[in-house]
Structure 1
Amino acid sequence: MLNDKKDDIFLSRWMNKELSKEEIQEFKLHPEYKHYIKIIAGADALDLKKYDIEKELSNLKSKKQDPIKNKPNLVIKFLPYLTIAASIVIILGIFLFNPNTSFHSNYGEQLTVTLPDGSEMILNAKSTASFNTKKWKENRILVLDGEAFFKVKKGSKFTVNTKNGKISVLGTQFNVQSQNDFFEVTCYEGKVTIAYQKQVEILTAGKGYRNLKNIQPKSWSFIDTTPSWLSNTSSFKSIPLKYVFKELEEQYNLQIKTVNIDLETIYTGTFPNNNKDIALKTVFNTLGIEYRISQDDGKTVILE
């Protein structure tokens, strides 16, 4: 898409709202989609005056009677349209040639992104990733806040920078979760190098590494081929309860009131990411905690 002589026709159909649902969904996954959305928004914001053809023809005929007198006015009449055209060019320049590209997933959303080298990134709910498009060929560097699964094409070093640590690979499949003081990396194929503060960890396929605040770093083995959240299931193994609650909030746009709850309680279990009622029952029934959802906003979970 957007790489041959049919581009102009495709974009014209999109701007005229003539694309099918399937074409729209496919277009939304393209890295340049957000740029075109910004361009349209910028163009719509311009104060484009309606051009009255009949009125202008009448004025033109009257000006023919005295062309010398009216010549300066002709120049003045065109200035607003030249200004508008220049503004459109500026907008196109800002959004089409801006090297920084970012993607953000919303509550309960998974967002699949094809990176410039053909690698694939899938963002879990409430996650953000950004990279420099122009420098991508020389430096495959991406900044992540949240959780994402990567299928990296072989090539130069591929690096994921997070505020908790840096993950580097050449070509592999791995998952990264970095949120506040939670940092976890799992390798599903190939080899992953993790730089965390002054420590370096090397993971091979089937190995995981976790570093949480005030908890000793932990490594473990697993047999899964992909992270469970890709199949709409959040899984936890020996995780403090506060991280389980945060995942519930991000998947279902909730706010959990945790008064008189020990958030450091260790939890092992799962919950579905596509059924709020079952997810809440699964977690709180396991913990023996009664709860209710506030009738005021439908988003606040009150533990009783």
Structure 2
Amino acid sequence: MFDDKKDDIFLSRWINGELSPEELKEFQSHPEYTHYNKIMAGADALDLTTYDVDKALNTVKSKRNTHSQKDTKPVIKLWPYFAAAASIVIIFGLFLFNSNDSFTTSFGEQLTVTLPDGSEMILNAKSEASFDKNNWDTNRTVSLDGEAYFKVKKGSTFTVATINGDVSVLGTEFNVQSQASFFEAVCYEGRVSVTSGQDNTVLTAGKGYRKIARTASENWTFDALEPSWISNTSSFRSVPLHYVFKELEDQYNIAIDTKNIDTDIIYTGTFPNNDIDVALKTVFSTLGLQYQLLQNGKTVVVEN
């Protein structure tokens, strides 16, 4: 089987059509063959005119004989061929050395990703995660912006890196949420190590850690077996209201006019992620506020 790490000239031989039938058959079964083939198809589409070198030399010699008084040396323009070859090399280089896999979710979307070792990552709405697939065996690290639930296979240390802190485990199930000045880690199985600023905390199943802005961090216990958002329900436990509104906006692609609302008040409650009418009624009735969803279906305003 083709191994691009051991045979550095294999791609060159393939490009030049030098593979044996057996080698070509094996190469076509390689998981990256489709991508390589697309790159070559794009390279073949380059508009390069065939250059007749012998004809060019004869033309130059003819002109030199006709105008012997001019000391003209033949110049053969080979740059189109070098440019084409360089383009192919650059394209292959970008493809081969860009080893990061990135995943992004949109409004109200969830995405399940199977990681290289069989671990599972489920992204919540408006979240982004990436990892280095080529070095995964020695560096199981996922960069996260947003929220994700992880089911990690046992093995080397597995780390979720965020702007607010890191969560590391060997094999377990846990949830991480990180955005702006909000950082939360919740352990559902096994043990996780949480590092955020000066805090170093070990969580076991049924334990949670949270740090909001510059307030003191907090820990709590719970009985749930998985995050509620996996089942399309957003849940909040004593968080400032503006985080609740942001979750509503992320789930339903709306904008909430908050100029007449104190968004620093503390909120505890839930709302569904698959019914905007019920979600808005649930949150605003809890707050004792009247609201209106404008005809554009994208803006929520509070009525006085």
Structure-1-length-normalised TM-score = 0.75
* Superposed displacement of residue 79, structure 1: 5.9
Q: Distance in 1 between matches of 2:279 and 2:129?
A: 27
* Superposed displacement of residue 147, structure 1: 0.5
Q: Does 1:99 align with 2:99?
A: yes
- CA deviation string 1:253-285 (max 9, x = no partner): 111110121112222221111222221122112
Q: Distance in 1 between matches of 2:129 and 2:247?
A: 18
Q: Distance in 1 between matches of 2:89 and 2:117?
A: 29
Tell me which residue corresponds to 2:22.
none
- Cα pair 1:293 1:299 within 8 Å, conserved: yes
SS in 2 for 1:244: helix
Residue identity opposite 2:179 in structure 1: Q
Tell me which residue corresponds to 1:128.
128
Q: Does 1:202 align with 2:191?
A: no
CA distance 1:69–1:294, shift in 2 (3 Å) = farther
CA distance 1:153–1:261, shift in 2 (3 Å) = same
Tell me which residue corresponds to 1:299.
298
Residue identity opposite 1:132 in structure 2: D
Larger radius of gyration: 2
Tell me which residue corresponds to 1:69.
58
- CA deviation string 1:123-142 (max 9, x = no partner): 11111122223332222122
Q: Distance in 1 between matches of 2:252 and 2:44?
A: 37
Tell me which residue corresponds to 2:287.
287
After superposition, where does 1:131-142 map in structure 2 within 5 Å?
Answer: 131-142=131-142
Q: Distance in 2 between matches of 1:93 and 1:173?
A: 37
Q: Distance in 1 between matches of 2:294 and 2:135?
A: 49
SS in 1 for 2:146: strand
- Cα pair 1:159 1:168 within 8 Å, conserved: yes
- CA deviation string 1:214-262 (max 9, x = no partner): 5442222222111111111111122221110010111111111101211
Q: Distance in 1 between matches of 2:175 and 2:227?
A: 7
- Cα pair 2:271 2:282 within 8 Å, conserved: yes
* Superposed displacement of residue 89, structure 1: 3.6
After superposition, where does 1:184-195 map in structure 2 within 5 Å?
Answer: 184-195=184-195
RMSD: 3.5
Residue identity opposite 1:298 in structure 2: G
CA distance 1:280–1:43, shift in 2 (3 Å) = farther
CA distance 1:294–1:134, shift in 2 (3 Å) = same
- Cα pair 1:165 1:197 within 8 Å, conserved: yes
Q: Distance in 2 between matches of 1:268 and 1:181?
A: 19
After superposition, where does 1:162-181 map in structure 2 within 5 Å?
Answer: 162-181=162-181
Task: Count matched residues.
Answer: 267
- Cα pair 2:111 2:122 within 8 Å, conserved: yes
Tell me which residue corresponds to 1:156.
156
CA distance 1:200–1:80, shift in 2 (3 Å) = same
Q: Distance in 2 between matches of 1:102 and 1:300?
A: 31
Structure-2-length-normalised TM-score = 0.75
CA distance 1:167–1:42, shift in 2 (3 Å) = farther
CA distance 1:71–1:128, shift in 2 (3 Å) = farther
CA distance 1:43–1:91, shift in 2 (3 Å) = farther
Tell me which residue corresponds to 1:24.
none
CA distance 1:279–1:40, shift in 2 (3 Å) = farther
Residue identity opposite 1:175 in structure 2: N
Residue identity opposite 1:299 in structure 2: K
Unaligned runs of 5+ in 2: 4-25, 62-73
Tell me which residue corresponds to 1:17.
none
SS in 2 for 1:242: helix
Q: Distance in 2 between matches of 1:71 and 1:247?
A: 73
SS in 1 for 2:87: helix
Q: Distance in 1 between matches of 2:28 and 2:238?
A: 53
* Superposed displacement of residue 40, structure 1: 6.5
Instruction: Please state which structure has a larger fraction of its residues in helix.
Output: 1
- Cα pair 2:27 2:33 within 8 Å, conserved: no
SS in 2 for 1:298: coil
Q: Distance in 1 between matches of 2:44 and 2:254?
A: 38
Q: Distance in 1 between matches of 2:249 and 2:111?
A: 18
* Superposed displacement of residue 287, structure 1: 1.7
Q: Distance in 1 between matches of 2:265 and 2:40?
A: 50
- CA deviation string 1:64-116 (max 9, x = no partner): 9x79636999x76x864663454234223202321333222111111222222
Residue identity opposite 2:201 in structure 1: E
- Cα pair 1:43 1:88 within 8 Å, conserved: no
